[in-house]
Amino acid sequence: MFTRDTSGPVEILRFHGTLDAAVAGKLRKDVKEIVASGRAKLLFDLAAVTFVDSSGLSVFVTALNAARAAGGDVALLNLTKDVRSLIELTRLHRIFTIHEDEAAAIEQLSR
């Protein structure tokens, strides 16, 4: 699922394994709770993600909507080749900022 780190106003969620229908419901709930607690600037580190399906993508979109409604945002970090291909195929790269450098991502989200 994920581990959490914090850097200033940014909550870093380091996902691992598969993001699919089996875990999407819990992930959506967890992310909504994080945003509701006042942490609306989210960085999703996907370096250790091995598979994402449409349910996993829906977690990203739900998080983005919740974060923006709370005055925050979501950025994606360290996409694997397969995950990047899926993000581009679904055109989600047009609504998410994608980073390869964690410090740059944190700086952008901290503004």
Looking up residue 50, the CATH number of its domain turns out to be 3.30.750.24
pTM of the model: 0.97
**Distances, alpha carbon 79 to alpha carbons 19, 21, 29, 37, 103, in Å:** 13, 20, 23, 27, 15
The DSSP output letter for 93 is G
Number of domains in the chain: 1
Cα separation, 38 vs 57, in Å, equals: 23
* Predicted pLDDT of residue 93: 98
- Mean pLDDT, residues 47-53: 97
The predicted-structure confidence for 2-46, as pLDDT tens digits, reads as follows 999 999 999 999 999 999 999 999 999 999 999 999 999 999 999
* Predicted pLDDT of residue 94: 98
- Please report the beta strands in 8-102, taking only residues with DSSP state E, as ranges in sequence order: 10-19, 41-52, 73-77, 97-99
List the domain range (segments joined by +) for residue 74. 2-110
**Percent of the chain with pLDDT strictly greater than 70:** 100
**Which helix (DSSP H) or strand (DSSP E) does residue 31 occupy?**
helix 21-36
The predicted-structure confidence for 12-21, as pLDDT tens digits, reads as follows 999 999 999 9
* Predicted pLDDT of residue 56: 97
